[in-house]
Amino acid sequence: MKCSTYMKPLGVLSLALMLSACGSDEDETTEEEGSKQEEVSEESSETEEDSTEETENEAEPLISEADVHNDDSLTALANKSNFLSEDYVPEDLVPVEVPTVLESPEVNQLRQDASSALTEMFNAASEDNITLYARSGYRSYNTQVSLYNNYKDAHGEAEADRFSARPGASEHQTGLAMDVTSESVGLELSEAFGETEEGIWVRENAHRFGFIIRYPEGMEDVTGYMYEPWHLRYLGEELAADVYESGLTYEEYIIESGIDINEG
Ligand SMILES: [Zn+2]
């Protein structure tokens, strides 16, 4: 379930929506970062001490296939090919503690770790005289059903698919995605945000707090979504920084890590 548009051509349509693309899930189990990987080589099970240390120089993957395909993992992948379970609801949703735009209590929530990170990021932005607002965070599966159906009734299915995620495909259902905005774009979700000083600050700094710009410009073919400079996905600081430095989309990063991108 993506949240926003399927195709790039319609970029404009998506702007109007408060729900942009995004969908996915994560796992808390993920914190072990790749620890599941067996590092034991066949060679020496007897001399445990020397052989296991060899992995020291090799970068250990920060993600595992099990976690990428686990709705409750912080590294969960949600996109048009990887749907979240209909009944997945994060257990640790909390109200965000930053300025918000919408009245709905639901969308002003994130999972605990993501919420704490968001607060830190907004505070750091403030210190740089950058004022950010949180517009749309968690969305339940049923909320996405309502949204999608409303768009479908009004515009037809084909059109709706261009700017609204189908239920289960929205990364917002993970409770790890937040759409941020600024007064300079009227607190809306607009591609223009990417060129504002707030948007530029977010692009250059979000990874320091564990977030990535999930749908970078020009990567629609890979992510399935148009450019969304406002849509942040929490992955934790270490992984977010690694993805940022790689210059890859999350999908590409997963593949680079040798993980099967599609659910089994
Ligand atoms: Zn979004």
pLDDT digits (tens, 9 = 90+) for 101-155: 999 999 999 999 999 999 999 999 999 999 999 999 999 999 999 999 999 999 9
pLDDT at 125: 98
Task: Give CA 167 to chain center in angstroms.
Answer: 16
211 CA from centroid of ligand 1 (Å): 13
Using 50, 70 and 90 to split pLDDT, how confident is the model at 224?
confident
Q: What is the pLDDT of residue 58?
A: 62
Catalytic residues, which ones? 228
> 10: which DSSP letter?
G
Q: What is the pTM of this model?
A: 0.78
95: closest CA among 114, 79, 81, 115?
Answer: 115
Cβ proximity of 232 and 241 under 8 Å: no
90-111: b or e for each residue (b if 16 or more CB lie within 10 Å)?
beebbebebebbbeeeebbbbb
Position 39 pLDDT exceeds 60: no
The answer to whether 4 and 228 have CB atoms below 8 angstroms apart is yes
Ligand 1 centre distance from Cα of residue 23 (Å): 8
pLDDT, the chain, mean:
83
With a CB cutoff of 8 Å and minimum separation 6, the contacts of 146 are none
Distance 18 CA to ligand 1 centre (A): 8
pLDDT of residue 264: 66
Q: What is the pLDDT of residue 158?
A: 78
CA 64 – ligand 1 centroid, Å:
24
CATH number of 8-33+58-256: 3.30.1380.10
pLDDT at 195 over 80: yes
> Which sequence spans correspond to the domains of the chain?
8-33+58-256
Q: What's the pLDDT score for residue 71?
A: 97
156 Cβ contact list (under 8 Å, min separation 6) = none
At 51-100, the pLDDT tens digits run: 444 445 567 789 999 999 999 999 999 998 899 999 999 999 999 999 99
pLDDT exceeds cutoff 50 at 15: no
Q: Is the dihedral of CA 26, 24, 231, 89 positive or negative?
A: negative
Residue 11 has pLDDT above 90, yes or no: no
Quote the pLDDT of residue 164: 78
For the stretch 110-125, pLDDT in tens is 999 999 999 999 999 9
* Span from the CA of 17 to the centroid of ligand 1 (angstroms): 10
Residue 206 pairs in a beta bridge with none
What pLDDT score was predicted for residue 225? 85
At 52, the amino acid letter reads T
DSSP secondary structure of 110-126: EEHHHHHHHHHHHHHHH
